[in-house]
């Protein structure tokens, strides 16, 4: 794969918030998506992740409820008003959700020098790989974290000592996904804040 091909895959992966209920990705496609996730860099190759694959409508409904509760919590705490109008219908419409769970005890040596987030960083890289694989298979996806982790742990029976890097919603996109813009990169020369001479 050359750079233009890689870049077009990167551009193709855009957050999808509207899914067709069918088709449900096949088992071999789900395996490919998870296998892509497992190729992510991770501290000491401890591979801190595990995956909960959800297709059951009842469970998706419960997750949606957790999302609605999170919206409510934001509004009650004076958070931005637009949250009230943010539709999370996709939480039930998407045919597949994969929770990426990580073990903070497998975060590498960062605990010794103020970097305790290794497992979440690895889980994040894992999710990115999964989303790129989903895009390569023709699926839209969304990295979703808008929930109280305690609620999602309860719904998915995830042990309390594990952390949730995200819920990844996957399915065929319903309609066009709007392009998402990127700002110009902020790049310094040699140390933070120093402009490049030719900038
Ligand atoms: C850690 C993380 C958490 C996110 N959580 C949510 C979320 O809860 N709900 C949502 O709609 N999008 C969520 N997103 C997606 C971002 O909103 C999205 O990536 C960003 O707006 C850029 O758009 P793009 O993915 O289409 O390039 C999350 C992304 C990341 C990396």
* Domain segments of the chain as ranges: 3-171
Q: Determine the distance separating the centroid of ligand 1 and the alpha carbon of 144, expressed in angstroms.
A: 7
Cross-strand pairs, 142: 169
Pocket test of ligand 1: the residue of 9, 142, 149 to mutate, having most ligand atoms within 8 Å of its CB, is: 142
Ligand 1 centroid from CA 128, angstroms: 11
pTM of the model: 0.97
pLDDT at 53 over 70: yes
Tokens 């990580």 -> residue:
102
Q: Which atom of ligand 1 is nearest to the CA of 145?
A: 8
Ligand 1 centre and the CA of 153: distance in Å? 20
- Which of 49, 33, 64, 194 has its CA nearest to residue 107? 49
- CA torsion sign for 148, 152, 155, 159 is negative
Other C-beta atoms lying within 10 Å of the C-beta of residue 154: 13
- Helix, strand, coil shares of the chain, percent, nearest 5, are 45, 15, 40
Q: Measuring from atom 17 of ligand 1, which residue has the nearest CA?
A: 15
Measure the CA–CA gap between 100 and 95, rounded to whole angstroms: 17
Specify the pLDDT at position 179: 83
Pocket of ligand 1 (CB under 6 A): 14-15, 17, 142-146, 166, 180
pLDDT digits (tens, 9 = 90+) for 154-187: 999 999 999 999 999 999 999 999 888 899 999 9
In whole angstroms, give the CA distance from residue 70 to residue 151: 10
CATH 1.10.10.10 fits 3-171, yes or no: no
**CA within 13 Å, CB half, 109:** 1
Q: For the chain, what percent of residues have pLDDT higher than 70?
A: 99
Enclosing H/E stretch for 50? strand 49-54
- Take residue 42 and report the two structure tokens written for it: 């991770």
Q: Is residue 136 within 8 Å of residue 33, measured between CB atoms?
A: no
Q: If you average pLDDT over residues 79-97, what whole number do you get?
A: 96
* CA–CA distances in Å: residue 114 to residues 7, 17, 56, 166: 34, 36, 40, 23
**Most informative mutation of 145, 147, 181, 183 for ligand 1 (most atoms within 8 A of CB):** 145
Residue 24 pLDDT level (bands cut at 50, 70, 90): very high
- DSSP symbol at 112: G
Output the six-digit token pair for 10.
């990167």
Check whether 199 has a pLDDT greater than 70.
Answer: no
pLDDT of the residue at 184: 95
Segment 55-76 shows an average pLDDT of: 97
Q: How far is the CA of 17 from the centre of ligand 1 (A)?
A: 10
Atom number of ligand 1 nearest to Cα 146: 8
């Amino acid at each position: 794969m050359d750079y233009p091909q890689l870049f077009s895959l990167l551009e193709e992966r855009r957050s999808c918030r509207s899914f067709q209920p069918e088709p449900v990705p096949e088992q071999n496609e789900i395996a490919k998506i998870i296998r892509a996730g497992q190729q992510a860099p991770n501290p000491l190759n401890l591979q801190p992740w595990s995956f909960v694959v959800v297709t059951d409508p009842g469970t998706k409904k419960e997750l949606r409820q957790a999302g609605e509760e999170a919206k409510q919590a934001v509004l009650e705490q004076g958070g931005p008003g637009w949250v009230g109008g943010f539709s999370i219908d996709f939480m039930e419409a998407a045919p597949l959700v994969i929770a990426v769970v990580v073990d903070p005890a497998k975060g590498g040596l960062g605990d010794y020098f103020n970097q305790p987030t290794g497992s979440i960083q690895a889980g994040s890289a894992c999710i990115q790989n999964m989303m790129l694989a989903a895009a390569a298979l023709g699926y839209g996806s969304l990295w979703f974290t808008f929930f109280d982790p305690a609620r999602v742990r309860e719904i998915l029976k995830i042990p309390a000592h594990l952390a949730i890097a995200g819920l990844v919603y996957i399915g065929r996109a319903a309609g066009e996904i709007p392009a998402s813009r990127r700002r110009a990169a902020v790049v310094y020369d040699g140390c933070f804040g120093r402009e490049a001479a030719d900038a």
